[in-house]
């Protein structure tokens, strides 16, 4: 049942369609022109100089990092505990909680953005770090619950019982036995939650305006208003960051399997 | 009993956060749709009477059907090749699937804008080669939106299809060949039917994600091709018609839940989200 040469070629062509268009931003970021184009007379790093000399871009990158890190910490803590709780219940109730956690993944973000905007108006949290961090943390929880649940499915429950029988307290068992066993899943969840916050635009468009101006928000404005090669430099850096996180995640997974 | 209580204690923080900061605002959307500008189902009547709304819904449906069909065919081929590839090739291919999946949606849309706009690299290259005289309209229309959406949805289609194909027992296929069926017959009568749950699952998943997709259609549609998520955005940010915006949002969610329900009868949802 090996695929024919034609099938294989189509398969790889689709992979090229997935990857190659993204790589176009590398040469464009090195253009010597002031508009989006391929380098003509030579390569130039001036757009990177622009980027790293721009207080606006650096400010947005800093904000996104800060929001992402704090939100991820909350998502990972709440999500991991929740997944462990569901796993211990191992009943219909646990299943129901896990199913409920999938809702934020399938409901279009724009729908939620409408609701949270009105909610934050009432609570005076519009355009604040607290407001954005809370929202990113909560919408990141489902990703952590999914990855940690997957890790728990492969974790031997008898190890936990053994620890308890040998006299470890519930907290000790959690810290010394369960958590180390599912660590790759937790790290995976953390990476997912961070990328979720780092890349989130739709909600930020509604609940932040001036004080909080994250990186996706600045890219969005850039695409809609002035398309200049600095954007390509930003895109290049973001691609590099994603690639690093992906390799990190694949490493974790392989260690878990091996 | 104590164990159950401690389990619920672990679940509590997440449940509280998601309940208060997610589900409460979500319920609010539904409430606004029947309360503003005046209580009643007036907003929902627009679904049947307003031509602009119906046009947006039709555009959305058309683009989603095209996107889902193209994505499914291409994703099926990739998943098939992936299933039968040697380990090294498989790892390389998997990287090609996962990298875009993880890549910022905005970065991807930006790359497509660079390529597809009027003075974009594709048009410049074609004009430079003398293939065309006038630049082609590759974005700010349904073509551009569909290209960008297929690019976004492919990994989401490939992964569940691959999971489904991996579970197909190779011995069944060998038996089919051993009993005298040709490769084509084995594919059509054995492999394809066995992979069908994966196809349905991946198809509905891609369709659901396409329905409410905002960023890529907004950028590549350029205000000319408007899908439902952008229409909601315009209602709120420009027309300030909260009643209409939340009504369409609620309708969207109801549609998605109905599709999910149908999906859950056909395949185990948990496998689809990798939760099992």
Interface touch B17/A137, C-beta < 8 Å? yes
- Name the percent of chain B lying above pLDDT 70: 96
pLDDT-based confidence at B4, cuts 50/70/90? confident
pLDDT-based confidence at A135, cuts 50/70/90? very high
Peptide bond before residue B44 is cis, with ω within 30 degrees of 0 = no
Q: What is the pLDDT of residue B268?
A: 67
In order of A148, A155, A178, A231, B4, the CA distances from A158 in angstroms are: 18, 9, 11, 53, 17
Interface touch A104/B245, C-beta < 8 Å? no
Would the pLDDT of A1 be above 90?
no
As a whole number, the mean pLDDT across chain B is 90
Query: How close, in Å, is residue A170 to chain B by CA atoms?
Result: 9
Domains of chain A: 54-257 (1.10.3720.10)
For an interface test with B, the pick among A115, A132, A197, A199 (most B C-beta atoms closer than 10 Å) comes out as: A115
- The residue ranking higher by pLDDT, A249 or B95, is B95
Q: What is the pLDDT of residues B169-224, one digit of tens each?
A: 889 988 998 898 888 899 999 999 999 988 998 999 999 999 999 999 999 998 88
For the segment A158-170, the average pLDDT, to the nearest whole number, is: 87
CB contacts of B213 in chain A (<8 Å) are: 108
Q: How far apart are CA A146 and CA A98, in angstroms?
A: 8
Q: What is the pLDDT of residues A52-97, one digit of tens each?
A: 999 999 999 999 999 999 999 999 999 999 999 999 887 788 889 9
Indicate the CATH number of B39-272 among 1.10.3720.10, 3.40.50.720, 3.10.20.600, 3.40.50.10140. Answer: 1.10.3720.10
Q: What is the pLDDT of residue B276?
A: 40
Q: What is the pLDDT of residue B275?
A: 44
Q: Does A19 touch chain B (CB under 8 A)?
A: yes
Q: What is the pLDDT of residues B256-269, one digit of tens each?
A: 999 988 877 777 66
Minimal Cβ distance to B7: which of A85, A220, A227: A85
For the segment B6-11, the average pLDDT, to the nearest whole number, is: 90
Interface touch B97/A15, C-beta < 8 Å? yes
**Taking a C-beta distance cutoff of 8 angstroms, is the pair B103, A239 a contact?**
yes
If you write DSSP's letter for every residue of B78-124 in order, what string do you get?
A: HHHHHHHS-HHHHHHHHHHHHHHHHS-HHHHHHHHHHHHSTTSHHHH
Q: How far apart are CA A57 and CA B164, in angstroms?
A: 43
């Amino acid at each position: 049942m090996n695929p024919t040469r034609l099938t294989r070629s189509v398969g790889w062509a689709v992979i090229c369609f997935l990857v190659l268009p993204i790589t176009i931003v590398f040469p464009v970021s090195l253009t010597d022109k002031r508009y989006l184009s391929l380098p003509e007379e030579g390569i130039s790093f001036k757009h990177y100089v622009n980027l790293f000399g721009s207080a606006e871009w650096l400010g947005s990158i800093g904000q996104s990092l800060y929001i992402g890190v704090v939100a991820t910490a909350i998502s990972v803590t709440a999500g991991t505990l929740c997944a462990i709780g569901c796993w211990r219940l191992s009943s219909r109730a646990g299943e129901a909680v896990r199913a409920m956690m999938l809702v934020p993944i399938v409901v279009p973000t724009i729908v939620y953005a409408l609701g949270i905007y009105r909610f934050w108006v009432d609570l005076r949290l519009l355009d604040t770090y607290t407001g954005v961090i809370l929202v990113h943390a909560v919408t990141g929880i489902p990703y952590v619950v999914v990855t940690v649940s997957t890790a728990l499915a492969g974790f031997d429950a008898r190890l936990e019982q053994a620890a308890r029988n040998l006299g470890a307290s519930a907290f000790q068992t959690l810290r010394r036995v369960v958590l180390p066993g599912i660590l790759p899943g937790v790290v995976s969840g953390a990476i997912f939650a961070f990328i979720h916050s780092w890349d989130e635009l739709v909600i930020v468009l509604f609940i932040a305006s001036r004080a909080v101006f994250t990186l996706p928000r600045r890219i969005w404005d850039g695409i809609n208003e002035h398309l200049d090669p600095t954007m390509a430099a930003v895109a290049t850096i973001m691609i590099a960051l994603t690639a690093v996180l992906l390799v990190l995640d694949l490493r974790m997974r392989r260690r878990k399997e091996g | 009993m104590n164990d159950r209580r401690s389990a619920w204690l672990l679940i509590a923080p997440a449940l509280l956060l998601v309940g208060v900061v997610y589900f409460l605002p979500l319920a609010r959307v539904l409430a606004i749709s029947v309360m503003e500008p005046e209580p009643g189902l007036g907003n929902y009547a627009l679904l049947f009477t307003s031509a602009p709304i119906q046009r947006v819904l039709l555009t959305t449906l058309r683009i989603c059907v095209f996107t889902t069909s193209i994505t499914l065919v291409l994703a099926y081929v990739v998943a098939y090749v992936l299933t039968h590839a040697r380990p090294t090739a498989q790892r390389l291919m998997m990287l090609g699937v996962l990298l875009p999946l993880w890549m910022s949606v905005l970065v991807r849309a930006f790359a497509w804008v660079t390529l597809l706009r009027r003075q974009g690299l594709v048009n410049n290259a074609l004009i430079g080669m003398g293939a065309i005289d006038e630049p082609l309209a590759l974005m700010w229309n349904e073509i551009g939106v569909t290209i960008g959406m297929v690019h976004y949805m492919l990994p989401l289609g490939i992964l569940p299809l691959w999971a489904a194909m991996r579970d197909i027992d190779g011995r069944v296929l060998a038996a089919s060949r051993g009993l005298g069926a040709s490769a084509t017959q084995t594919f059509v009568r054995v492999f394809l039917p066995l992979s069908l749950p994966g196809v349905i699952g991946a198809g509905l998943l891609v369709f659901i994600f396409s329905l409410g997709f905002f960023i890529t259609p907004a950028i590549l549609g350029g205000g000319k091709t408007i899908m439902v998520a952008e229409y909601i955005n315009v209602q709120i940010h420009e027309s300030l018609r909260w009643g209409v915006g939340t009504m369409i949002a609620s309708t969207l969610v109801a549609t998605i839940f109905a599709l999910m329900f149908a999906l859950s009868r056909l395949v185990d949802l948990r496998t689809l989200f990798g939760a099992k």
